[in-house]
Amino acid sequence: MTSPSEAGPLTAAQVEALLAGIAGQRIAVVGDLMLDRYLVGEATRLSPEAPVPVVSITERREALGGAANVAANVVAFGGTARLVGVLGDDVAGSALRARLLATGLSDDGVLTMPARPTTVKTRIIARGQQLIRVDEESDAPLEGAALNALIRRAESAVADSDALVLEDYDKGVLVPALIATAIAAASSRKIPIIVDPKYRNFFAFAGATVFKPNRPELARALGATVDAARLEALPGLRQRLNVTHLLVTLGAEGMLLVGGEGAMTRIAAQSREVFDVSGAGDTVTSWLAGALSAGASLLDAARLANLAAGVEVGKQGVAVVTPEEVRAAVG
């Protein structure tokens, strides 16, 4: 097997050209919507009830998560997002919908389901460290009238977009029928299809332009640890998935791009102080979609997304990245 080639960083001029291209792009984002809550405080003593810290909360904040965070990043780089997903008829759903509108996102493609809770991830943080995360959610697969309604929303979003993102967090929204319909609609318009997968439907995204798993997702699919000794399995996996390109995010080791001919290219991670990796994958997905929709090569799009992710991990919690921040990060 030929060793992966190494891709150098983008120049400032290349970054400027890419940033000019992504502004104004229209991205359909279909997937799991989440509300990320942060309870920040001080932990100075242990509870007398159990060997756990007592956290005195001094700050509360909320952010868009999952597919909603991908859409928020599209807005942040100057694009337009057509967001499709479901919310519960609850307080969290109202808060998430209000935050969408405040971010500049339309909620036309968002379906309210009274019998389903809004997905909420609550993180408790003290001294800059996450102590625990509490999840409130249902991961039951969509079906029946709700599924049909969401399929119609997805088709409408794709009909007026320059790229499609399928953002799967295994919360039951991206079921095979919705996946197949959205991919068929995007394929008929010949627009890029970017998939951020999870485990349940890992092999259900045939026809995607770029399939972007992270290391744990890929390891689970392969049934083996993903490291330098397992790279020979990746071209075969791309063929098994029936996708055009495979882009594996490897955390501190950067990214690995597997092309249609089986050629592999390694993209080094940006050298920065990592504060919090939450949301980094969403940043990669959104910026990758923006650049591809504007006609960038996959390698340049991946390098731009890698640069944006390097900015995001330097922030606390899930956050968006702006073109100004990417410009400042070009070394």
Could you tell me if 168 and 201 are in contact, meaning their C-beta atoms sit under 8 angstroms apart? Answer: yes
- Which residues are part of the catalytic machinery? 282
Helix H or strand E segment including 134: strand 129-136
DSSP letters, 237-305, are HHHHHT-SEEEEE-GGG-EEEE-TTS-EEEEPPP-------TTHHHHHHHHHHHHHHTT--HHHHHHHH
Asked whether the beta carbons of 306 and 14 are under 8 A apart, the reply is no
Pick the closest to residue 27 from 150, 163, 211 (CA basis): 163
What lies within 8 Å, CB to CB, of 129 at 6+ separation is none
- Exposed, middle or buried: residue 262 (CB in 10 Å: 0-12, 13-18, 19+)? middle
Q: Where are the alpha helices (DSSP H) in 43-175?
A: 67-76, 91-103, 144-158
Give, rounded to a whole angstrom, the gap between the first and last alpha carbons of the chain. 33
> Where is 84: in which H helix or E strand?
strand 80-88
Largest CA distance in the chain: 62
* Position 98, amino acid: A
Q: Which two tokens stand for residue 90?
A: 């609850």
Angle CA 169–170–176, to nearest 5: 115
